[in-house]
């Protein structure tokens, strides 16, 4: 087989990375630009970023790849994976009319337009009127129509970030099916836009002509334009192949493609995922997100704050220790690794609940909670409690998914930045009480996207074949029997009752305060 090279652009919340993988899944080159800051907040709860900033950074990342000795002419195809749910509105020339609104933006629309009475009655009968109202309040198109009507009047296309970058690369308004996660009228069961008569078009303030054409993973989105070639150094006419959102690509890149496999993501948003060919809603009426593999679904439980809390810990709880380590030339992550290794399971009685998962609790609650704090606890205890709390929350999510699917998980993978810590991986194996596989690369979202390019260019006949050829296990972490038993009792008799009470307390707070 002739060596094939694939360029992957991975635009996350914290940084943009470019990778070159070959057909065996080997990482040949990597470039990363950290966003500082990742977004701005002109008002409390807002999260925005200059859309052109993403495009400029993409160009710089590609140029950095060529400086590492990769010949642009060796690239067989390119592909894009991005953060989910980030929106860019553009005019008829494709120019952004407003900063990109990120997925973690909390703005809501006041004075929503009234839906026709027949839709209101239907929603009352279904019992989902509260959920539908929340969706309408959060829908960015509604916000533009009410708060920025002059911008909405000029809006030619309402794009997700993946669709915007695809347009900048090809000049075509196309996007990946598996990238459609957001407040858009997407049919998550059929993986296409809803019929024009569906209530979601009016509820979310959109019309079909404002949206991109969506393509399944492995299909052609377009070809690199002359302008994009000048910006990136990629050859004119190079195929851009459809992939999916970062989490969807990460799950496949880790090796998870079957219902009996599960994937943990220790990233900015911590998630547990499994793949199903059946449409299963974990929290009705909310749908499952599309998997990269066509006609499959990602059944996901997520902790929105996730391992981003490690950055919070670094900056707010242990800044002096981290600064001292850096002054001595040590990696600050090695300090946390040492703390995790030297503290006992259970963090000497300290528990940190990072936030309630969307699926397990019914809705996302970003507030955290501390249990058992006393003056003897050290910062090492705090860090262990944070890691254990994140893993307990993911275990709770896995239990909820298993309850819905009735499917036993026999193989578990872990990816994301946190998976590079042996101590985190060992703690995860102990808490989940089963072996956990770490893939050969931590860049599994980029690898998953490269698999899409390999299938699209017919290097492999299907996604399962691409996964077998391009993903492999680097190390397996086995649970310690004694610690696994301790964690199971801690989870069953402390964590679960505690989070149940927290959910009720937070609900009471929202009602009465």
Q: How far, CA to CA in Å, does 458 sit from each of 235, 247, 461?
A: 20, 24, 6
Q: What percent of the chain has pLDDT over 90?
A: 84
pLDDT at 503: 83
Is the pLDDT score of 2 beyond 60? Answer: no
Burial class (CB in 10 A: 0-12, 13-18, 19+), 480: middle
Is the pLDDT score of 63 beyond 60? Answer: yes
pLDDT at 355: 74
Q: Name the band, by pLDDT with cuts 50, 70 and 90, for residue 361.
A: very low
321-347, pLDDT tens digit by residue?
999 988 988 888 889 999 999 999 999
Q: Name the band, by pLDDT with cuts 50, 70 and 90, for residue 356.
A: low
Q: Is the dihedral of CA 48, 49, 52, 54 positive or negative?
A: negative
**Mean pLDDT value across the chain:** 94
- Section 261-290 average pLDDT: 94
Count CB neighbours of 364 within 10 A. 14
Q: How far, CA to CA in Å, does 203 sit from each of 85, 113, 394?
A: 17, 9, 32
Burial class (CB in 10 A: 0-12, 13-18, 19+), 384: buried
- Section 236-263 average pLDDT: 97
CATH superfamily of 5-244: ATPase, nucleotide binding domain (3.30.420.40)
Q: List the domain boundaries for the chain.
A: 5-244, 248-512
- CATH topology agreement for domains 5-244 and 248-512: yes
pLDDT at 511: 84
> For the chain, give me the number of helices (H) and strands (E)?
19, 23
Of the two residues 332 and 478, the one the predictor is more confident about is: 478
- Section 459-470 average pLDDT: 98
- Section 308-329 average pLDDT: 90
Which tokens in the block code for residue 206?
């959109």
Chain mean position to CA 56: 22
Mention every residue, 6+ apart, whose C-beta is less than 8 A from residue 428.
264, 391, 414, 436, 477
Where are any strands of DSSP class E within 289-432?
Answer: 289-290, 297-303, 351-353, 369-371, 411-415
Q: Name the band, by pLDDT with cuts 50, 70 and 90, for residue 423.
A: very high
Rounded CA gap, 152 and 155, in Å?
Answer: 5
CATH superfamily of 248-512: ATPase, nucleotide binding domain (3.30.420.40)
- Section 109-126 average pLDDT: 90
Is the pLDDT score of 364 beyond 60? Answer: no
pLDDT at 240: 99
pLDDT at 359: 41
pLDDT at 365: 54
Cis peptide before 285 (omega within 30 of 0): yes
The answer to whether residues 201 and 185 touch, using CB atoms and an 8 Å cutoff, is yes
Q: Which of 163, 162, 185 shows the shortest CA–CA distance to 174?
A: 163
3-state secondary structure of 189: coil
Question: What is the residue whose two structure tokens read 């509604």?
Answer: 142
Helices (H), 51-195: 51-67, 117-126, 129-138, 140-147, 149-154, 161-170
Buried b (16+ CB within 10 A) or exposed e, 412-445: bbbbbbbbebebbbbbbbbbbbbebbbbbbbbbb
pLDDT at 360: 42
Q: What SS3 string covers 47-77?
A: CEECHHHHHHHHHHHHHHHHHCCCCHHHEEE
- Section 227-239 average pLDDT: 98
Which tokens in the block code for residue 285?
């009426």
Is the pLDDT score of 393 beyond 60? Answer: yes
pLDDT at 196: 96
**101 has which bridge partners?**
48, 87
Q: Which of 439, 437, 444 shows the shortest CA–CA distance to 409?
A: 437
Q: How far, CA to CA in Å, does 184 sit from each of 130, 140, 187, 203, 218?
A: 18, 9, 9, 10, 22
3-state secondary structure of 427: helix
Quote the DSSP letter at residue 118: H
């Amino acid at each position: 087989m002739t060596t094939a090279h694939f360029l992957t652009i991975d635009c996350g919340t914290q940084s943009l990375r470019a990778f070159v993988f070959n057909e065996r899944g080997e990482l040949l080159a990597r470039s990363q630009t950290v966003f500082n800051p990742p977004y701005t907040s002109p008002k409390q709860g807002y999260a925005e970023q200059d859309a052109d900033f993403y495009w400029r950074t993409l160009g710089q990342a590609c140029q950095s790849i060529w400086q590492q000795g990769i010949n642009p002419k060796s690239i067989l195809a390119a592909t894009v994976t991005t953060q989910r749910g980030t929106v860019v509105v553009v005019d008829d020339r494709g120019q952004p009319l407003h900063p990109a609104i990120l997925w973690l933006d909390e703005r809501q629309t006041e004075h929503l337009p009234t839906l026709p009475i027949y839709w209101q009655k239907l929603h009352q009968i279904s019992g989902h009127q509260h959920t539908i109202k929340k969706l309408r309040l959060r829908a960015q198109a509604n916000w533009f129509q009410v708060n920025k009507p002059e911008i909405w009047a000029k809006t030619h296309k309402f794009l997700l970030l993946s669709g915007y970058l695809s347009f900048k690369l090809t000049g075509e308004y196309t996007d990946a099916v598996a990238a459609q996660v957001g407040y858009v009228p997407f049919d998550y069961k059929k993986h296409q836009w809803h019929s024009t008569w569906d209530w979601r078009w009016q509820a979310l303030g959109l019309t079909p002509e404002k949206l991109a054409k969506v393509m399944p993973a492995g299909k052609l989105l377009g070809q690199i334009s002359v302008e994009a070639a000048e910006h990136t150094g990629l050859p004119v006419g190079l195929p851009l192949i459809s992939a999916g959102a970062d989490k969807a690509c990460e799950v496949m890149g880790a090796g998870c493609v079957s219902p009996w496999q599960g994937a943990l993501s220790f990233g900015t948003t911590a998630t547990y995922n499994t793949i199903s060919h059946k449409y299963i809603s974990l929290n009705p009426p909310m749908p499952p997100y599309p998997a990269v593999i066509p006609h499959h679904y990602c059944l996901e439980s997520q902790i929105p704050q996730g391992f981003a809390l490690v950055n919070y810990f670094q900056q707010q709880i242990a800044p002096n220790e981290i600064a001292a380590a850096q002054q001595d030339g040590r990696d600050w992550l090695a300090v946390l690794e040492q703390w995790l290794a030297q503290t006992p399971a259970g963090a000497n009685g300290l528990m940190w609940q990072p936030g309630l998962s969307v699926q397990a609790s019914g809705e996302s609650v970003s507030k955290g909670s501390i249990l058992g704090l006393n003056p003897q606890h050290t910062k090492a205890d705090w860090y262990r409690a944070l890691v254990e709390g994140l893993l307990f929350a993911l275990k709770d999510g896995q239990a909820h998914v298993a309850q819905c699917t009735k499917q036993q998980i026999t193989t578990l993978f872990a990816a994301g930045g946190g998976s590079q810590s042996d101590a985190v991986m060992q703690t995860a194996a102990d808490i989940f009480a089963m072996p956990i596989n770490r893939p050969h690369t931590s860049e599994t979202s980029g690898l998953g996207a490269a698999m899409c390019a390999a299938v699209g260019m017919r290097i492999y006949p299907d996604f399962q074949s691409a996964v077998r050829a391009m993903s492999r296990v680097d190390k397996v972490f086995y649970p310690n029997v004694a610690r696994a038993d301790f964690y199971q009792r801690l989870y069953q008799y402390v964590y679960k009752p505690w989070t149940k009470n927290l959910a009720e307390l937070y609900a009471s707070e929202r009602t009465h305060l």
